[in-house]
Amino acid sequence: MSGTPQRLRAFAAGAAATAFLSLGASAPAATAAAAHHAAPATDCALPGRTGWTDEGHTTDPTQFQRPLGTKHVLMLFVDFPDAQSSGATSDYYRQLAPASDWMKRDSYGRTSLDITPLDRWIRMPQDSTSYGFQRGITFEQHEAYVRQAVAAADPYADFSRYDMVYVVPAKSAAAISFSPTYLYDPTTAGITADGKRLKWAVTFGQDMWHWGFKVADHETGHTFGLPDLYAFTGTDYHRFVGGWDLMGDIAGAAPQHLGWERWKLGWIDDRQVSCLPSAGSRTVRLKAVESPGGTKIAVIRTGETTAYVAESRRALGEDSRACSAGVLVYKVDTSTQTGDGPVQVVNGNPGATPPSGCRALDMAAFHSGQTFTDPATGVRIDVDSSTPLQDRISITRQ
């Protein structure tokens, strides 16, 4: 469960500190429709409205890291006066290193992490218990932690060569419990090393031994502008998306990013998006998110910041443990804040009994012959037929 209260507060603290940021809020101008689409994808590119990580199609390029190409990551290993190093740094590196290949596969090869371990222990100047992780670390405390790690490592590394930093603590530092992401504040002096501003970092906690390497993929997703899809409040933290998309549950059964987020990240192109921006109907052949190519999402716009999205999901690749396969339908609202449910999956099979390791919402995918309707918006989605890698759907908005 990614939502320890401390972890949530830490990320929220960063958000509060930089909430003044303005995202490019207007949707890209519509361009001429591609011949095979009744409407250009840009008519369904919903604008972000939160000024922070959200599901808006456009991402502020100054606040967030461009999610394409090779990201050069320096991995630092830190210990503390009260929690000294234990074991070889290579064991820590091995725990997180698979994050790189995972992202490459998930992104159809468009994004990868080049992680360079600084193969020595870096001693932090303060005790591990002094940084405030136990109380839900503030933005200022978190920045100080990153700054100290960078300063202590500076004699041994050339920071100008890296896009971001991963800070990994000794196992003995129990107080460094969770893994918040550092997103710089452009209005402050922040952290500079070797003449380069450090804009993004993930500081891992002991939860990396619980989650495994996908915690690095999840946290790095925040540096790309993605919000948390699990709930920050309530008792069921996974009521919005269950185990779909690792921005929801890092250990979920189908952790590959939703098609909507793939479009935002640039992992799929406009021509792979079928857009229904207003009343009408259309037939769409969707190709499974887990397999490259083809039309990946059908978007039915329902308002300035809202849409229903349909995509095909299969138990393949990184989603091999998916609990249901078929057409996943979800509601997107780009004015909804991180942790408040910017994506909400529609459960197509609410009566299904989930097998072991699956939640009710993991059974959500619609099968051939099933229909989704939302009377409030006049949206209807019929799953007409399915093949091993594709679903044919009919989408309608009255």
Provide the binding-site residues for Zn ion, judged by CB under 5 A: 228
**DSSP 3-state of 99:** helix
**Comparison of 228 and 319: residue with beta carbon closer to Zn ion:** 228
For residues 139 and 17, is the Cβ–Cβ distance under 8 A?
yes
Residue 179 CB, nearest approach to Zn ion (Å)? 9
**Comparison of 129 and 138: residue with beta carbon closer to Zn ion:** 138
**Comparison of 219 and 382: residue with beta carbon closer to Zn ion:** 219
Residue nearest to Zn ion (CB): 228
Residue 3 CB, nearest approach to Zn ion (Å)? 9
Residue 9 CB, nearest approach to Zn ion (Å)? 12
**Comparison of 228 and 382: residue with beta carbon closer to Zn ion:** 228
**Comparison of 80 and 213: residue with beta carbon closer to Zn ion:** 213
Distance CA 287, CA 281 (A): 19
Residue 249 CB, nearest approach to Zn ion (Å)? 11
**Comparison of 128 and 179: residue with beta carbon closer to Zn ion:** 179
- Which residues, in sequence order, are CB contacts of 383 under 8 Å at separation 6+? 326, 327, 366, 367, 368, 369, 370, 371, 391, 392, 393
Burial (CB count <10 Å: 0-12, 13-18, 19+), residue 251? middle
- Residue 324: which of 287, 281, 286, 358 has the closest Cα? 358
Report the chain's terminal Cα–Cα distance, integer Å.
39
Residue 158 CB, nearest approach to Zn ion (Å)? 29
Q: What angle do CA 214, 220, 106 make, to 5 degrees?
A: 60
Residue 334 CB, nearest approach to Zn ion (Å)? 18
